[in-house]
Each structure stands twice: as C-alpha cells, then as structure tokens.
C-alpha cells in the first residue's frame, strides 16, 4: 500500500486515530496513538521521534532520541478499538543518519532479507510458523519475598472432572495429553478459535485452519506462509488478536511454552524455504527430494542450534518444554516426516512446497529475531557446505541409551543458551545483519531473566528440602 493509498484510506474510512506499532528486543508489541488529522505525507516520510531509553535493551538516556518509520504496506484497521484506528508497523532508525537502528528487531529482519539477496544464494525466503497457545479462565501468580506461586484454571481443563459448577459438571473434556482433534463438546474452543481466525481474515491476514492441541486447554491456529519480515509482522498481529479475542470472552490466552506441569508444552514449528529466480531452491534429488543446498541449510541449523536457542527459545520457561518425553524435539537430528528430531522435512508432492521445518522454536520468541537467526544459520550452512550427517528415520524418543549418547542435543536452560550464543555468533554478523552491540544488549536482557529465575526460591524446593 502506497503512502497515497494510506492517506486515502484514512479519509475514506473516516479513521480517527493512527496507531504506530513497533517491537522491542524481547518481542513485546509497543505502540503510540496519533490523531489521524496529524498523519500526512510528511509524517509518513519523516516518521515519529520517541524516547528509546524507555525500552529495555535499547539506548541510554544520553543518546535516547530515535525515530519510528511507518511501513505503509503493513496498514490494517484495528478490530478491537472503539474509535476507528489504523495500525502501521514500524522500523526504528537513527534520527541523524536515517540508518536502521542496530538493535531494532524488525530492522534485523529487513537486513536478513537483504543479505540473502546480496549473497546470491536466493532472492526470497518464506516462513510459516505454527504457534501453539493455552487458554485459561483464571490466572493468579505471585512473586513476593514470602510467597512464590501460580495457579491457573479452566472450566474445561482435564483436572476439573470432579469440580463443582453452579450449572453442574457435564463431564465432557479431553484428558491430559488427549486433546488432539476431538469434536465438541469435548473441544470447547471451537467458537473462540473461529472468531480469532475470522478476525484475522477481516484485517487481511492469510489463515487456513484451527484445532485443539494435545495438552489440556491448548490450541493452534494456522497462518499461511509469507516472506520473513512480513510474516514476523503477521505473527505479532496473530498474538495480538488471540490475546484480545480471549480477553473479550472473559478468558486469558498465553504463549508461555510450558504453563502447566505434566502435559505437553507449546511449540512454534517454523517452516522455511528459499527461492531463486522464481524457483524453489530446496527441491532436488537428494534425501527426501531435497536439494544439496537444503541439506547444507539443515547442517547450518543443527550446527548452530544451541546458539539459536537464545532466540528461538528465549525464556527460562522454554526449557520446561525442551525435555524428553513430551513430543518436544531435543535431539539435533533431522528426518523426513519423523517428528521426533529438531528438523523435519514435511512430505509434499509439489517441489514448490518443499521446505524445512525447525521444530524446536517456541512462541515466546521474538519473531523478527527468531526468523532472522534461523535464516542466517541456514545460509551459513550453505556457504560453508555443512554436512548434516545421516538422517535419523526412527523414533528418537525410543532409542536405547547407548544410541542416544551419540546424538547432540539442544540447550537445557536459558543460561546454557546465553553461553552458547556468546561462543557462537559470528554467523549472525555476516552482512551486519546482527551486530555485536545488539547481541550484547540482548544477552544482558536474557541474563537479567536468568538471574531473576535462579535467585528465587521455588515451591518444589520447599517440597524437597523444607524438613531436611
């Protein structure tokens, strides 16, 4: 959408406000709302100044002035505000030079796409994330000096088979690990998921399906793939709509990877492909009808998997999911159709649909940084011809211990992921896509989270040690 088209839309649709949105390093969507009368061609060309020192992980107070540059192609009308509001996603630039701010996640995604073209390997990259989430009816938590606790509840959760409800307990609900694809009344999420998808369609998003997931109270909606930066924009809209539709129903959605004990966590499988001159680069005559470039791409992902974890699994909670036995891929192996490895090659008849699926990321990730890091790891594999080794066409969860010992794993904690990124980040610096300053700032944010987590007593410790 051109600047003129956006201005015409503001006039024709009688837009009252324009919401300027951007994403911080942790992946949270931020915004400032402008009166629509003030948004003209100059505004769209020159951007909006703001205080970058107020965003964690960005500038210090003595050099805090930054500029938000709206992307008119991202325009959509917010489906939740009472006053008619047009939304524009923004990248962040330095006000004096106009250059991309090196710590802006969206700017990193744009640079990753530009680097792919400059490399000559391909001219387009496509990403299809599959982000799972939970919906609860009641959420309580406390982090106080004398109380650390959480409690979530959902009327339809598996633990409520004997709960007392005012209108009675009708009994139809999925069991633990039994939530995959049941129809209503066992699946109580049909209407809320349909409204989420319908809301996405109304603002122009490309979606395809929805269903209940394996865990109790867990759900998934399908986003159709798109180019890297645009798809990261779409995932931010995806999360925003899910949170707000759930809120309108008096319910609460979360993208925490592991919000409850003893059931499956939420992943975000990321499907990736590269195209060049209108042709799919990953289609070929090698294993699973992949090209040699696709195998090298997988080699890069597996080689840098632990460093990638800092972006693809960026929370301490992420590693409550990345443990054996819960359909979470912890082993750095690849296979066609087999879902137990870190990387899967989905089956398809069409070369155009040939893609690689990274199964270890989760929806706590900042999508701009997650997708960019995955692309850079894969491109490093292609540039350096990294052999991924033999495919593992067996259920990795059932391997005997002696075979498991020979298969490397992803990280087991956020601290380990931070240390891995410190030791292995040169591949991210190619083409100045990521910068050392950006990575250092990001690692500081992650270590703050690690320290907060590690320094806080846990209720399990009371259970284990209080009476010793």
pLDDT confidence of residue 42:
96
Over the stretch 252-276, which tens digit does the pLDDT of each residue have?
999 999 999 999 999 999 999 999 9
To the question of whether residue 402 is assigned a binding role by annotation, the answer is no
What percentage of the chain carries pLDDT values higher than 90?
A: 87
Of the candidates 123, 130, 137, 424, the residue annotated as catalytic is 130
- pLDDT exceeds 90 at position 373: yes
- pLDDT exceeds 60 at position 282: yes
Reported as type and span, the H/E element at residue 66 is: strand 65-70
The CATH number given to 3-100 is 3.10.20.70
To the question of whether residue 94 is assigned a binding role by annotation, the answer is no
To the question of whether residue 378 is assigned a binding role by annotation, the answer is no
pLDDT band at 325 (very low <50, low <70, confident <90, very high): low
Residue 339: active-site member: yes
Of the candidates 113, 220, 234, 263, the residue annotated as catalytic is 220
- pLDDT exceeds 80 at position 404: no
Domain 124-465, CATH number (from 3.30.450.20, 3.20.20.70, 3.30.590.10, 3.40.50.720): 3.30.590.10
pLDDT band at 419 (very low <50, low <70, confident <90, very high): very high
- Residue spans per domain, the chain: 3-100, 124-465
Over the stretch 445-465, which tens digit does the pLDDT of each residue have?
999 999 999 999 999 999 999
Of the candidates 186, 210, 211, 339, the residue annotated as catalytic is 339
Residue 186: active-site member: no
Residue 359: active-site member: yes
**Average pLDDT for 24-34:** 96
- pLDDT exceeds 70 at position 63: no
| Inter-residue contact 229 to 113 (CB < 8 Å) | yes
To the question of whether residue 341 is assigned a binding role by annotation, the answer is no
- pLDDT exceeds 70 at position 62: no
CA neighbor of 215 nearest in space, from 187, 195, 251, 243: 187
Over the stretch 163-208, which tens digit does the pLDDT of each residue have?
999 999 999 999 988 899 899 999 999 999 999 999 999 999 999 9
**Average pLDDT for 64-78:** 94
pLDDT confidence of residue 123:
96
Over the stretch 119-164, which tens digit does the pLDDT of each residue have?
999 999 999 999 999 999 999 999 999 999 999 999 999 999 999 9
Over the stretch 86-101, which tens digit does the pLDDT of each residue have?
999 999 999 989 899 9
Average pLDDT, the chain: 94
Over the stretch 344-355, which tens digit does the pLDDT of each residue have?
999 998 999 999
Residue 51: active-site member: yes
Of the candidates 51, 390, 403, 426, the residue annotated as catalytic is 51
Q: CA–CA separation, 465 vs 108, rounded Å?
A: 46
Which residues are registered as beta bridge partners of 131? 268
pLDDT band at 60 (very low <50, low <70, confident <90, very high): low
- pLDDT exceeds 90 at position 341: no
CA neighbor of 193 nearest in space, from 173, 174, 208, 175: 208
To the question of whether residue 339 is assigned a binding role by annotation, the answer is yes
- Alpha helices (H) along 363-435: 367-383, 401-404, 414-423, 426-429
- pLDDT exceeds 70 at position 236: yes
Coil, strand or helix: which one is 290? strand
- pLDDT exceeds 90 at position 328: no
pLDDT confidence of residue 326:
57
Of the candidates 103, 106, 332, 359, the residue annotated as catalytic is 359
| Top-ranked range on mean pLDDT: pick from 303-307, 320-324, 339-343 | 303-307
Coil, strand or helix: which one is 190? helix
Structure tokens at 267: 């992943």
pLDDT band at 407 (very low <50, low <70, confident <90, very high): confident
Over the stretch 210-228, which tens digit does the pLDDT of each residue have?
999 999 999 999 999 999 9
pLDDT band at 4 (very low <50, low <70, confident <90, very high): very high
pLDDT confidence of residue 406:
78
CA neighbor of 446 nearest in space, from 312, 328, 279, 349: 312
Q: CA–CA separation, 340 vs 218, rounded Å?
A: 20
């Amino acid at each position: 959408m051109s600047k003129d088209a956006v201005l015409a839309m503001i006039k024709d649709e009688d837009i009252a406000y324009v919401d300027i949105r951007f994403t911080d390093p942790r992946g949270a969507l931020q915004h400032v709302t402008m009166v629509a009368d003030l948004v003209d061609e100059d505004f769209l060309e020159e951007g909006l100044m703001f205080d970058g020192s107020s965003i964690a992980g960005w500038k210090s107070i003595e050099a805090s002035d930054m500029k938000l540059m709206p992307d008119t192609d991202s325009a959509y009308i917010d489906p939740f505000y009472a006053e008619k509001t047009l939304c524009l996603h923004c990248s962040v630039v330095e006000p004096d030079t106009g250059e991309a701010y090196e710590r802006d996640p969206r700017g990193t995604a744009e640079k990753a796409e530009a680097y792919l073209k400059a490399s000559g390997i391909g001219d387009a990259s496509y990403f299809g994330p599959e982000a799972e989430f939970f919906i609860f009816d009641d959420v309580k938590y406390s982090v106080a000096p004398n109380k650390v606790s959480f409690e979530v509840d959902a009327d339809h959760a598996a633990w409520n088979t004997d709960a007392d409800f005012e209108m009675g307990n009708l009994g139809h609900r999925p069991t633990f690990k039994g939530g995959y694809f049941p129809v209503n009344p066992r699946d109580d999420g049909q209407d809320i998921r349909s409204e989420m998808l319908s809301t996405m369609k109304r603002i122009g998003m490309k979606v395809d399906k929805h269903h209940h997931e394996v865990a109790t109270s867990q759900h998934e909606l399908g986003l159709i793939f798109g180019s890297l930066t645009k798809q990261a924009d779409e995932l931010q809209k995806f999360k925003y709509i899910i949170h707000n539709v759930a809120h309108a129903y008096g319910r609460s959605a979360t993208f925490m990877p592991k919000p409850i004990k003893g059931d499956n966590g939420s992943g975000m499988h990321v499907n990736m492909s590269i195209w060049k001159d209108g042709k799919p680069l990953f289609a070929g005559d090698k294993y699973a009808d992949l090209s040699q470039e696709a195998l090298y791409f997988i080699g890069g992902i597996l080689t840098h998997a632990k460093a990638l974890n800092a972006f693809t699994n960026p929370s301490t909670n992420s590693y409550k999911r990345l443990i054996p036995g819960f359909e979470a891929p912890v082993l750095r192996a690849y296979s066609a159709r087999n879902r137990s490895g870190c990387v899967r090659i989905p089956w398809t008849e069409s070369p155009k649909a040939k893609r690689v699926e990274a199964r270890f990321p989760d929806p706590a990730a900042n999508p701009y940084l997650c997708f960019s890091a995955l692309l850079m790891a894969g491109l490093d594999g292609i540039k350096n011809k990294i052999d991924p080794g033999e495919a593992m066409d067996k259920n990795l969860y059932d391997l005997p211990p002696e075979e498991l010992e020979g298969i490397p794993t992803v990280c087991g904690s956020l601290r380990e992921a931070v240390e891995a990124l410190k030791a292995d980040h040169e591949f991210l610096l190619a083409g100045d896509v990521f910068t050392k300053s950006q990575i250092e700032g990001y690692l500081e944010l992650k270590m703050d989270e690690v320290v907060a987590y590690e320094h806080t007593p846990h209720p399990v410790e009371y259970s284990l040690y209080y009476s010793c």
